[in-house]
Amino acid sequence: MRISAAALLITVSLISPTLAQQTGPTAQSLEGVWKVTKVVQGGVVNTNPQPGLLIFTRGYYSTTRVTAPDARKQSPAPKDPAHLTDAEKIALYNEWAGYAASAGTYEIKGNIIINHNILAKMVGGMTITEEALISNFDGNSFVASPKPGNPSSGRQTTYTRLR
């Protein structure tokens, strides 16, 4: 009986690290194209969010996303592109305000993904390092939440693998 218990203990100790690695994300397991399929923010659940894609490949990532609650409206063509009116400037701003984009490199440390922005829509985001907690990773979907202290820390975004 002692030999069986010892063998079981050794077997479990050898298998456990392997199982832990399979349940958490790795750079290789994240590679692919992911679609935003659910957003929870401020207690409001949105199961039909505006379009958003996140692509991971060989240490690099790219993300684009409509962040506005509704579909963006195209601004009318300016009458004189060299001399925009205030109304035309506001219309152009409103068209692009609800859109986010960034790209760069990423790394995984446990259940934290760290994005090192090289390019971003917002100038202030060009050299920012963003960290998010990843939970519920099953290989086909995961939930990302900004780390506490981030202005968006109450948001949870679910991504589903497209490819």
**Is the confidence at residue 91, as pLDDT, over 50?**
yes
Instruction: Compute the chain's Rg from CA coordinates.
Output: 21
More confident residue, 16 or 69: 69
Element (H, E) at 64: strand 60-66
Average pLDDT of span 146-162: 84
User: Phi/psi zone of residue 141: left (φ > 0), alpha (ψ -120 to 50 degrees), beta?
Assistant: beta
Q: How far apart are the first and last CA of the chain?
A: 49
**Is the confidence at residue 103, as pLDDT, over 90?**
yes
The pLDDT of residue 79: 95
Distance CA 23, CA 60 (A): 22
Convert the pLDDT of each residue in 6-59 to its tens digit.
333 333 333 333 333 445 789 899 999 999 999 999 899 999 999 999 999 999
Angle, CA of 142, 120 and 35, to the nearest 5°:
25
The pLDDT of residue 151: 65
Structure tokens at 12: 């479990």
pTM: 0.77
User: Phi/psi zone of residue 83: left (φ > 0), alpha (ψ -120 to 50 degrees), beta?
Assistant: beta
* Count of CB atoms situated within 10 Å of the CB of 55: 17
- Residue ranges of domains in the chain, CATH in brackets: 2-161 (2.40.128.280)
Distance CA 9, CA 54 (A): 41
**Residue percentage of the chain with pLDDT more than 70:** 83
Contact indicator for 37, 50 with CB cutoff of 8 Å: no
Average pLDDT of span 61-86: 92
Structure tokens at 34: 């992911």
Look at strands 44-46 and 52-57 and give their pairing. Answer: unpaired
